[in-house]
Amino acid sequence: MARSWKSRRFWSVILAVALFFCVAAPVSATEPEKAEETGTADFVAAAEGEIGGYALSPDFSALVFSSILPRAEADASCTWNERTQVASCIPTYDLSGSLNGCVLNLQTDGAATGYMVYSFSGAEACLVQFGYDGVYCVQGEALEAPQAGEKVLFVGLDTYLKEKNGNYYDLASGTALQKAQLAEARLQMAESAMRTAELGENPAALRAARSAGQTRQVVYEAVDVKNLWYPDFVPFTMNQFSYYDKHCTPVAGLNMLKYWQTKRGVSGLYSSYYAQSFAQLHTEMKTDDGTNSRLGFDGMGSYIRKYASTKSLGDDYEVSTDWNWLTHNLSCNFPLVFNSLLAHYNGSPDGHSFLALGYQRCSDGNYVRVCTGWDTGLSHFYYWPWAYTDFISMWYYRWE
């Protein structure tokens, strides 16, 4: 867990959805903050066949499928093809009950083949996350379709709440939110909406291109670090070190070492008894209820000097949101630890450390490929202009 110290709504949407749930859920005995009374949500009549109880409008459906084949053609690791379909749609909401996005799980020939996450907090529906494997997960747990009387609320980067019968809960733990936490969630949602609305690559140009008939997305460049796929690189996850808590930075650091040792042939970077190496990294990074991002970088260097038999040949630490810095180093085959805030609603300054392994430069914006540390997947992508607003730092060590 990385630690730092910073703390328009889209009223006319192109996604048409039709609710099929009925409201029937008991009130929590913990008396959390009550939800606002909003009445019927602002839905548009469904225009196409239902998908998991919901329907996509023709325009939004065209936008979704315009993103699938170009990525299949440009990225050898992509699991999508002309038979890929939307298997389920989970709409997400803000605290006023208005639609602010959706999660689409995909399937190809009956098998789960990833997901697409859209935000509607702007003049365009913005693809903010996608992946090629499995179903969409929130911090390692599959995002389930809401039950009767429930809504999924999108707060920001990997952070969701659940609203049930007028009360709000942490989606993962089920803990009821109190007033201070709800106020923080409201602030984070407003910030996420503003960022998505303002930080697109060039939404005006994108709309003009679409009006001129350019509806197909274009992947200009898809880059992964060297030898990522052959043979498979299986990263460590936080669950493998469950004795620890808020330990994503040493996990990301250990995965960087594993990449260089197993994929690039650099020997002696970590022990075959990997739990020992993890404990050493944890200590050197001074991880304690999270890891300060600079101490994570310095701790990695300390670990290498003390325990690695092959010393690194270079390193760098970057605190500016420089896309060119990121792409240059990934093009040089240097995996990066990328530290970004999670939009936590509890007011904590916590964030998360990812291992960046590649990027895509596309007509709808730029995306960074990350290993999340929550699972072993290598095909999770985050929208860069959206992700870097919560940016803390990025750094690497290299052995060539």
Residue 379: what pLDDT? 93
**Does any domain span residue 169?**
yes
pLDDT digits (tens, 9 = 90+) for 16-42: 332 222 222 222 323 334 333 322 222
Residue 4 lies in a domain: no
* Residue after which a domain boundary falls, among 164, 199, 220: 220
Q: Which of 316, 340, 4, 357 is nearest to 157 (CA)?
A: 340
pLDDT digit string, tens, across residues 120-176: 765 567 888 999 999 999 878 899 888 888 889 887 767 788 888 888 888 877 788
User: For residues 131 and 357, what is the distance between their CA atoms, to the nearest angstrom?
Assistant: 14
Within-domain flag for 1: no
Q: Higher pLDDT residue, 204 or 247? A: 247
pLDDT confidence band for 191 (50 / 70 / 90)? low
Statement to judge: residues 326 and 355 lie in one domain: yes
Do both 75 and 54 map to the same domain? yes
SS3 per residue for 121-181: CCCCCEEEEEECCECCEECCEECCCCCCCEEEEEEECCEEEEEECCEEEECCCCCECCHHH
Instruction: Say what the pLDDT of residue 348 is.
Output: 44
Going by pLDDT thresholds of 50, 70 and 90, the confidence category of residue 57 is confident
Same-domain check for residues 205 and 99: yes
Structural domain includes residue 119: yes
If you search the block for the tokens 């040792």, which residue do you land on? 261
Query: Do 230 and 179 belong together in one domain?
Result: no
Q: Is the peptide bond before 231 cis (omega within 30 degrees of 0)?
A: yes
pLDDT > 90? residue 391: no
Q: What is the rounded CA–CA span in Å between residue 95 and residue 324? A: 36
Distance CA 219, CA 223 (A): 11
Among 50, 67, 52, 48, smallest CA distance to 126 is for: 67
Structurally, how many domains does the chain consist of?
Answer: 2
CA 170, CA 138: separation in Å to the nearest integer? 12
Distance CA 90, CA 392 (A): 30
Tell me, yes or no, whether 3 lies in a domain. no
275 has which bridge partners?
Answer: none
pLDDT exceeding 70 applies to what percent of the chain? 73
For residues 349 and 292, give the distance between their C-alpha atoms in angstroms, rounded to a whole number.
10
- CATH number, position 314: 3.90.70.10
Q: What is the pLDDT of residue 9?
A: 30
The arithmetic mean of pLDDT across residues 251-255, rounded, is 96
Does 253 lie in the same domain as 188? no
Bridge partner list, 185: none
Question: Which of residues 155, 190, 220 is at a domain's end?
Answer: 220
66 vs 9: which has the higher pLDDT: 66
What's the pLDDT tens digit per position in 236-249?
999 999 888 889 99
List the one residue out of 196, 169, 20, 185 whose CA is nearest residue 94: 185
Contact between 393 and 339 under an 8 Å Cβ cutoff? The reply is: yes
Q: Using the predicted structure, report yes or no on whether residue 304 has a pLDDT greater than 80.
A: yes
* pLDDT at residue 46 in the model: 32
* Domain assignment present for 341: yes
Return the ∠ at Cα 134 (arms to 149 and 158), rounded to 5°: 60
Is residue 325 domain-shared with residue 394, that is, in the same domain?
A: yes
Mean pLDDT computed over every residue of the chain: 78
Per-residue pLDDT band for 307 (boundaries 50, 70, 90) equals very high
Q: Does 192 share its domain with 308?
A: no
The pLDDT of 383-388, averaged and rounded, is: 69
User: CA of 61: how far to CAs of 190, 266, 367, in Å?
Assistant: 26, 46, 21
How many Å apart are CA 112 and CA 308, to the nearest integer? 40
Q: How far is CA 3 from CA 6, 177, 187, in A?
A: 10, 22, 19
67 domain residue, yes or no: yes
DSSP notation for 247-302: -HHHHHHHHHHHIIIIIS---SSS-SSHHHHHHHHHHHTT-SSSEEHHHHHHHHHH
Domain that holds residue 309: 225-398
Task: Give 132 or 63, the one with higher predicted confidence.
Answer: 132
Lowest mean pLDDT among 79-83, 149-153, 219-223, 296-300: 149-153
Most confident of 27-31, 208-212, 215-219, 265-269: 265-269
List pLDDT tens digits, range 71-126: 999 999 999 999 999 998 888 888 888 888 889 999 999 999 999 998 876 556 78
The residue from 172, 189, 220 where one domain ends is 220
Residue 138: phi and psi, rounded to 5, are: -110, 110
Task: Retrieve residue 284's tokens.
Answer: 């050197």
Residue 260 sits in the same domain as residue 341: yes
Asked whether residue 116 falls in the same domain as residue 257, the answer is no
In this structure, the answer to whether residues 199 and 272 fall within a common structural domain is no
